[in-house]
Amino acid sequence: GLVLGALGAVAVVVGAQSTGGSAAATVGVGAVAVIIAVALAAPSLSRPIVGALGSVLTRPFGAIGRLARTNSVRNPRRTAATAFALMLGLMLVSVIAVLGSTAKASVDALVDTGVEADYILSGPQSIGVPTGAGQAARDVPGVDSVAILHPVSVDIDGEEAFGVALDGSPEGLFDNSVVEGSRELTGDSMAVSESASRNEDWTLGSVVELESVDGRTVPVTVTSIYEDSPLVGDWMVSEEVYQQVTPSFVRSDIVVLVGAEPGTDLDTLRTDLEAATATFVVVQVQDREEFKGAQSQQIDTLLAVLYGLLALAVVIAILGIVNTLALSVVERRREIGMLRAVGMQRAQVRRTIYLESMLIALFGAIVGLALGVAFGWGFVRTLRDEGLDTLTIPWGQLLAMLVGSAVVGVLAALWPAIRAARTPPLEVVTEA
């Protein structure tokens, strides 16, 4: 198990240092290997971890606490098997939590450092901004500059590729740091990111043929190379090229960035922009903070759905703890009866079972959260070129999961503890 875990950890690290779909697959394979390794090594891990937890958490309970700690570590295989389902459930939850918090932090960082526009026109994620809203914004008094970003889908060298088209100038609206070539993007020119330049061997003067959906081939020339930016992706083309490679019936806008003239009252400008785009219904006029909040809300909605699905795994884990503890009570019926015969009270029997279950649940939670954070880091590193470049660990959320696991452990032990407390001491002694 330890050897397999080491190999899986190496696969995760190697995949995390790479990019692309193959790297994501590598991380996934490595994650599966690590999970299998942890399943094999869990009995060995349970003894030191549960023992350490028990020595701290059960100390206030005196002899009852020491008995619960001893019971939890004396059968490491059963302890590991009981905690494994909860371990997997919390691992998945923590991976999603890391990815979600990282996505929100990355969006915030992108807007804070890359967007300079006063207002952003956006629409539903599925349809974007309707064509025409950008032009309507240009006609509003007080508007100094407008940049419209269009989605571009073409084939390059027989493979599907996605980029953006820029209508307008990025000056004062979003960061587009050109490291080589001209800042102008007109005619048949094409701007590429540094990573795309390296990966595709595109240099200044390279001719790239874009094949449109309707089979038309449009050659473009690389005229500039810019710093990598999640906002614009790997490459940009001009409005003229966009018109040639995109049929009119599928044209849309990703986002419209609006800059105000110096001295313009921004509240008045917002009102005028909302009035000018009112006919497009779905268009929202937002400042940078509102735009960040809207994106975070979309991420939270997706996370809520995923958490709802993963809650089933946690429920199954709770049922597993209940079942295992109930079987343990049956197996230890004679032991419990002897303890009752020598003076242990029913409340003390129940407390012992509660503490055992809490230690087992915490063991599963600690290992699961540690694996989840590690895998989350691996996936974030793999997807950093897709915009997830600000790793954020939701420590508060993870701590809440840990405390919740302890509570779940106690709740799962209610019925087994009551059953154990009802063990008749005289009948058990007589059987012995």
At 430, the pLDDT band (50, 70, 90 cuts) reads low
Range of 18-27, 227-236, 265-274 with top mean pLDDT: 265-274
Mapped onto helix, strand or coil, the DSSP state of residue 131 is coil
Mean pLDDT of 60-88: 87
What pLDDT score does 8 carry?
Answer: 40
What pLDDT score does 27 carry?
Answer: 56
What pLDDT score does 39 carry?
Answer: 72
User: If we measure between CA atoms, which residue out of 385, 408, 421, 420 comes closest to residue 86?
Assistant: 408
CA–CA distance, 312 with 310 (Å, rounded to integer): 5
Whether the predicted pLDDT of 17 surpasses 50: no
Mean pLDDT of 410-414: 88
DSSP letter for each residue of 187-201: TTEEEEEHHHHHHHT
CA–CA distance, 335 with 100 (Å, rounded to integer): 48
Residues 6+ apart with CB under 8 A from 318: 86, 408, 411, 412
Q: What is the pLDDT of residues 208-225, one digit of tens each?
A: 999 988 888 999 999 999
The type of residue at 250 is V
CA–CA distance, 285 with 14 (Å, rounded to integer): 43
CA–CA distance, 97 with 237 (Å, rounded to integer): 36
Structure token pair of residue 250: 């599928």
Q: Exposed, middle or buried: residue 301 (CB in 10 Å: 0-12, 13-18, 19+)?
A: exposed
Q: What is the pLDDT of residues 235-259, one digit of tens each?
A: 999 999 999 998 888 888 889 999 9
pTM: 0.77
What pLDDT score does 121 carry?
Answer: 92
What pLDDT score does 355 carry?
Answer: 92
Q: What is the dihedral of CA 330, 331, 332, 338, to 10 degrees?
A: 80
What pLDDT score does 16 carry?
Answer: 41
User: If we measure between CA atoms, which residue out of 4, 9, 12 comes closest to residue 380?
Assistant: 12
What pLDDT score does 20 carry?
Answer: 43
Backbone phi and psi for residue 149, each to the nearest 5 degrees, phi listed first: -105, 120
CA–CA distance, 359 with 406 (Å, rounded to integer): 8
Q: What is the pLDDT of residues 302-349, one digit of tens each?
A: 888 888 878 887 788 888 888 888 888 888 888 888 888 888 888 998
Q: What is the pLDDT of residues 349-380, one digit of tens each?
A: 899 999 999 999 999 999 999 988 988 888 88
What pLDDT score does 272 carry?
Answer: 93
